Amino acid sequence: MPSPGTYAAKVAQTQMGRAQSGKEQLGIQWAIEGGETIWSYHYFSSPKALDITVDTLRAIGWDPIENGWALDCINGTNRLVGQEAQLVLSEQEYDGKVRVKVQFVNNINGGGGLRDTMTEDEVTAFVAGLRQRAGVSSTPAPAQAPTDDDVVPF
């Protein structure tokens, strides 16, 4: 069993199945440093769980939305085998037992990047709303002209 920490990992296999609760899940087996393996489990039962599953699949280069949720094409196939990710492992207690589990699956380059970038109009609207909530003028103070004291001779 691997120790808690951050590891580079590769997908060893993927499999659709059901949790003890009967809810559908995607299991991903990861091969990490030293030849050890660990499974991560991804769910579809709530909006938050679905978002995490989407982020995980995107981190390993497969966008479920762009692929029409065709999970049957990754179920038990080699389609994602070898895809790399960064795993964050942590200890979690369940039923009185402490186990190491996958806490996060990130893009191999670290973090997950931005989920969605804003357009210029969205940035402008966001900044205006933020300024209003902060009680700040919507126009920045004019820059002050430099004085002789500001000039650094070289």
Strand, coil or helix: 50: helix
Conformation bin of residue 54: beta by default, left when phi > 0, alpha when psi is -120 to 50: alpha
pLDDT in tens, 76-126: 888 999 999 999 999 999 899 999 999 999 999 865 455 566 788 888 888
Amino acid at 99: R
CATH-assigned architecture of domain 5-106 = Beta Barrel (2.40)
Q: Which residues contact 7 (CB under 8 A, 6 or more apart)?
A: 32, 33, 86, 87, 89
Domain ranges of the chain: 5-106
pLDDT in tens, 23-55: 999 999 999 988 899 999 999 999 999 999 999
pTM score of the predicted model: 0.69
